[in-house]
Amino acid sequence: MSDFDIFIDETCHLENDHIPVMCIGYVKVPTSDDVYNNLKNELKEVFIKHNQNSELKWQKFSKARLDLYKELVDYFFQTPLEFRCVLVKYKDRLNHKDFNQGSHDNFYYKLIYYLLRVNNSVNSNIRVFIDVKDTRGKEKLVKINEVLENEFKEKTSFNYFQHLHSDHNIFFQLADFFIGAVAYKSRVASGNIVEPTPHKLEFINYLEEKSGFNLDEGTEPWETKFNIFDHQPKRRS
């Protein structure tokens, strides 16, 4: 039996924020045999080495921290940590009326399902932690649990859901950073960001080189280490 913790974060997820993409993703952490604590402590050592005392967030990207960011990428690809995200392009095409019972929230729950479904296995126990975004967190957790139970019945491996603040967990921060990079590259590619920040592009190029994938494109469905599911809503007629 394999045990994992999954830490989910999201960016550009608001319905009417005039940003053409959104991204929701996770970092998956094995929890057996003290692996979790070892990974957490090693990540903290990288932070300490680079005097990173504050929360790691894409929105706080600093040119002076490029060496830290690159070392975190190197570390990620040397460990059993996994990253997966759903990149939604052309957010303005979303048709909630016809496909999501008229609700952006329902679309959000679908994204969670598509994000997590590859992990379902009768041989796994998985705890899911989601970054706190708003006051309706408890309601959303109940709905997510309901959706997964309906889909997987008694065979679900997801047995625990909880909201946490991202500054309380280092794996949330890594998830935030990766989905931030994925969304930023897609915004640049779509022309939403006309004058991209050079040092952000330098980091994105480094992550693409290490992963072997373009961040604004999907990966093979069976990719497990660094997976991007490219979701493009159908153009409205």
pLDDT digits (tens, 9 = 90+) for 145-185: 777 777 776 677 887 888 888 777 999 999 999 999 999 99
- Whether residue 184 is contained in a domain is answered as yes
Q: 26 to each of 9, 95, 97, 187, how far by Cα in Å? A: 6, 25, 28, 20
- Whether residue 140 is contained in a domain is answered as yes
Predicted confidence band at 64 (pLDDT cuts at 50, 70, 90)?
very high
DSSP 117: G
- Whether residue 138 is contained in a domain is answered as yes
- Whether residue 73 is contained in a domain is answered as yes
User: How many structural domains does the chain have?
Assistant: 1
Q: Which domain holds residue 115?
A: 2-231
Total-model pTM: 0.90
CATH number for the domain spanning 123: value is 3.30.420.10
- Whether residue 237 is contained in a domain is answered as no
- Whether residue 236 is contained in a domain is answered as no
pLDDT digits (tens, 9 = 90+) for 211-224: 999 999 999 999 99
- Whether residue 90 is contained in a domain is answered as yes
- Whether residue 119 is contained in a domain is answered as yes
Sheet holding 226-231, edge to edge: 158-164, 124-131, 2-11, 22-30, 82-88, 226-231
Is 73's pLDDT higher than 80?
A: yes
